[in-house]
Amino acid sequence: MESLSDTLWDVVISGTGLQQSLLALALSRSGKKILHIDPNEFYGGAQAAFSIQDAEQWVGRVSAGHGSLFKSASIVRPEGATTLSSSRAYSLALAPTLIHARSALLSQLVSSRAYRQVEFLAVGSFYIFKQSQDPTQQPSLARIPSTREEVFSTTAISTKAKRLLMKFLKFVLDYESSPQLETWEPHADAPLADLLQQEFKMDAELQTYIITLTLSLDGRISTKDGLAAIRRHLSSMSVYGPGFAALYPKWGGLSEIAQVSCRAGAVGGAVYMLGNGIKETKTIGDEVRLELTSGDTVKARMLVRADESPSDQKGISRLVAVIGSPLKTLFEALVEGAPRPAVAVVAFPAGSLSAADGTASKYPVYLSAHSSDTGECPVGQSVLYFTTMATSCAKEVLERALDAFTGVTGDEKRPQVLFQLQYDQHAGSGILEAEGPIFTFPAPSSSLSFDDSTLEPVREAWTKVMGDAAVASEYLTFEDREGAMDDDDVYE
């Protein structure tokens, strides 16, 4: 076998984040010579999933300034939290992203047959955290109805609001056709809330129900983007089974998809080296010369890497908490024949929480609550992922959200918080950048629902690597390997 230095690699892929890993999957049957490296000792990059011990080590690296996408990482072990299990019993996701059933990512996992290696779980209901107008009453969680049946059966909104909601749901399912088009196009770049108020006469509370379904982090999503997000949610409902519109991969979300994609790359002949980054890069003619941190020098026709420089976009703050409760009422199947959900989403609207000085939260806070069925914690516990836009008081607001939620779980006794991880993350978006034979993926999106635009740079990079062969090749469309399980293709 040729050494690393003697081989002219068709492509060196740096990093095992989702985009790089999907590129490895797409190239896994191309016959190309692929070297896939990562300076980390773990797969997944910004979408990784950690055990408790791994999370502690990661916080140490972030605090020491390694990597630029994350900052202000810290861990809190509350006093008296004695029921935390062994480190490996946890798989805490850095990017707990739900995937709508109509997402192109799922279609690509099906056509590439990679879906066989991933276990998907149902994302259940969406809830709104509601403060009571009566100071003697406790806050509560109100479920957001997103089907005709749910609208008629809910007692959380008035009869008038139900009529308005039904009118809007009917509208959004066909919003790109006339006469609906003429209704919303004048508001296309304005906040969706303006359309809801002016054209549908919705009050602030009903607007919150609608906007929550978009999972907009700043709450000011445009009408054009908001309508697309809501239709995706509605059209995804019951695609893979009754009662749910989105899926979540077991064992750590997008991290699991990244690892499955890398395994496909390895089966296809790619060479993998974790804990090995790039120390120096030189372009000589049509080749890239790389000096690795291991001391090896390699040459390649192409280098594909990820952008890890902070962007000008506003970042996000996250709080991950493990609590000692299974949250049974949150993970109940509410539709006959539906699978038991493993994930539930709770929105704390802007202004519903406040800092110690009384300053109301400027942005909504989203909670993605995960049961032990996700494989991210032991039975009898749950993992809570809180996310909001980064501000000077975001950390305090997230802690207030955690305290508020543990007071409305329906448990007889407030659940104990066993572990907390907090961090800030720079947001990313953009296109594949090219400089000669070097291609750079944009920094990962901070969207709470998988953004299909993430897939476009991957296909573009695949086209660059494949060259003329891309014309005769079908992108991410593979037959089963010999000896693969002949399962029913339930996702087709």
Low-confidence spans in the chain with pLDDT less than 70: 1-2, 309-313, 428-430, 482-492
Tokens at 353, concatenated: 């929480």
Q: Which structural domains are found in the chain, ordered by start?
A: 8-48+252-310+430-472 (3.50.50.60), 147-236 (1.10.405.10)
Closest CA to 439 of 403, 414, 456, 464: 464
Rg (CA), the chain: 23
Complete DSSP assignment for 358-369: SPBPSS-EEEEE
Give the C-alpha separation, 196 to 202, whole Å.
6
Residue 311: what pLDDT? 62
- 28-67: pLDDT as tens digits: 999 999 999 999 999 999 999 999 999 999 999 999 988 7
Residue 482: what pLDDT? 62
What value, to the nearest 5°, has the Cα angle with vertex 42 and ends 387 and 398?
15
- 3-class SS of residue 38: strand
User: What letter would DSSP give residue 186?
Assistant: G
Greatest Cα-to-Cα distance within the chain, rounded to the nearest angstrom: 75
The answer to whether the beta carbons of residues 441 and 19 sit under 8 Å apart is yes
Q: 331: Cβ–Cβ under 8 A, 6 or more apart, which residues?
A: 124, 340, 341, 342, 344, 371, 373
User: What letter would DSSP give residue 117?
Assistant: G
The answer to whether the beta carbons of residues 212 and 364 sit under 8 Å apart is yes
Residue 151 backbone dihedrals phi, psi, to 5 degrees: -60, -45
Give the C-alpha separation, 300 to 5, whole Å.
10
The answer to whether the beta carbons of residues 36 and 23 sit under 8 Å apart is no
Residue 308: what pLDDT? 72
Residue 486: what pLDDT? 45
The answer to whether the beta carbons of residues 440 and 305 sit under 8 Å apart is yes
Q: At what angle do helices 18-26 and 455-466 cross, to 10 degrees?
A: 40
Sign of torsion, CA 131 326 346 149? negative
User: What letter would DSSP give residue 21?
Assistant: H
Question: What's the one-letter identity of residue 45?
Answer: G
Question: What's the one-letter identity of residue 403?
Answer: D
Give the C-alpha separation, 263 to 93, whole Å.
19
Q: Are strands 246-249 and 99-100 parallel, antiparallel or unpaired?
A: antiparallel
